[in-house]
Amino acid sequence: MYDKLDFIQEKYDALSRKASDPEVIGDQPTWRKYVKEMNEMEPIVKAYAEYKKTQADLAGAEEMLGDGDLDAEMEALCKEELASLSRKLETDAERLKLLLLPKDPNDDKNVFLEIRAGTGGEEAGLFAADLLRMYTRYGERLGWKSEIIDLNETGLGGVKEAVVLIKGRGAYSRLKYESGVHRVQRVPETESSGRIHTSAATVAVLPEVDDVEIEIDPGDVRVDVYRSSGNGGQSVNTTDSAVRLTHIPTGIIVTCQDEKSQLKNKDKAFKVLRARLFDEKQREKDRERSETRKSQVGTGDRSERIRTYNFPQGRVSDHRINLTLYKLDYFLDGDLDEIIDGLITDDRAERMKSF
């Protein structure tokens, strides 16, 4: 770890010298590049300087205590200072480890949230609708904006499938742990005997990517247009504005009928297609380093059961970190931070074990 820190310090100092060179200052693109790199390294450099200062103070306190010519009061004070500095050094070291963890390059991106009803028939569709509202409310709490890309509803107010673009800084960093199977246990309104049913819905969280990250050959995509339809198949648009994209090499199908403009629907559909292709690419990399992923929170596998929502007991349980909260109503209203913070903390702790 310290070799890495020394390397970062040396690189920061070298960049600082370059950024101060009048010739570089005159070349604004290059100067901005150097300043940007320095800004990214600055938190680590400052934390390392603090660590070394604490280390030096600790060494000084140990030397003073080792002299042996202190009176009882000064010796007690010196021991107290020594203990305090030792604790601070441990804290400084943990902070450095945290700062050195590789940052997910997708963390600051917007996300496409895909929710699909799973096993459980109409009850699964109603639960999928609950999840859609839950994530929308969570986004509202954080000042994010949600934009429906595609919505396929059931006859009773449920959701067969929904695709939502959630825009907000850090959206992916907070929601990326939500991919997987969400299970609900409750008595359906249609159940006269009061028997508890178990249903499920799947969630996929994909970072929004641009053309540079994923290039799509237009010849690989079949574009079909059709009329938008609402609940129960009722026509809500008299023009062929809805768009269906089929990516021939992978078989991925994307639909979008949210906008009245065919052009806007096509643009949104291509954004979703890029996100899904990027996700496939990332998942392939993850499979190649599967042993590493085993040490992380979840695998992002669509078939992995990650959470249970139990209505009779009013609890929500996340199975990856064995955390249960007895405030299901608040959770479904978008109060997700306690579990999401727990997932982030657990993930960081696992990754820090590599130091």
Annotation: CATH topology of 111-349: Alpha-Beta Plaits (3.30.70)
Is-above-0.75 flag for pTM?
Answer: no
Between 58-62, 256-260, 273-277, the lowest mean confidence (pLDDT) is in: 256-260
* Stretch 141-146: mean pLDDT: 95
Look at residue 297 in the predicted model and tell me its pLDDT. 47
Is the pLDDT at 57 greater than 60, yes or no?
yes
Q: Strand, helix or coil at 216? A: coil
* Stretch 239-248: mean pLDDT: 84
- With both helix axes pointing from N to C terminus, report the angle between 28-66 and 2-19 in degrees, rounded to the nearest 10: 130
What would the pLDDT profile of 157-178 be if each residue is shown by its tens digit? 899 999 999 999 899 999 999 9
* Stretch 185-189: mean pLDDT: 86
Q: Mean pLDDT, the chain, as a whole number? A: 85
- CA–CA gap between residue 91 and residue 232 (Å, rounded): 59
Per domain, the residue ranges of the chain are 2-100, 111-349
Looking at the chain, the whole-number percentage of residues with pLDDT higher than 90 is 43
CB 153, CB 233: distance < 8 Å: no
CB 227, CB 241: distance < 8 Å: yes
Say how many residues make up the chain: 355
What would the pLDDT profile of 284-311 be if each residue is shown by its tens digit? 766 655 544 444 444 444 568 999 999 9
Look at residue 40 in the predicted model and tell me its pLDDT. 83
Is the pLDDT at 122 greater than 60, yes or no?
yes
Is the pLDDT at 330 greater than 50, yes or no?
yes
Q: Strand, helix or coil at 21? A: coil
The number of beta carbons lying within 10 Å of the beta carbon of residue 2 is: 10
Kindly report each contact of residues 325-333 with a partner whose C-beta sits within 8 Å and lies 24 or more positions away, as own/partner: 331/134, 332/130, 332/133, 332/134, 333/134, 333/137
Which band of pLDDT confidence, cut at 50, 70 and 90, is reported for residue 227?
confident
- CA–CA gap between residue 180 and residue 321 (Å, rounded): 14
Position of tokens 């079949």? 222
Q: Both tokens of residue 1? A: 């770890």
Distances (CA, A) of 11 to 7, 16, 38, 101: 6, 9, 9, 18
**Cα-only R_g, the chain:** 27
CB 237, CB 227: distance < 8 Å: yes
Helical H segments across 235-332, by residue range: 262-288, 290-293, 328-332
Look at residue 234 in the predicted model and tell me its pLDDT. 42
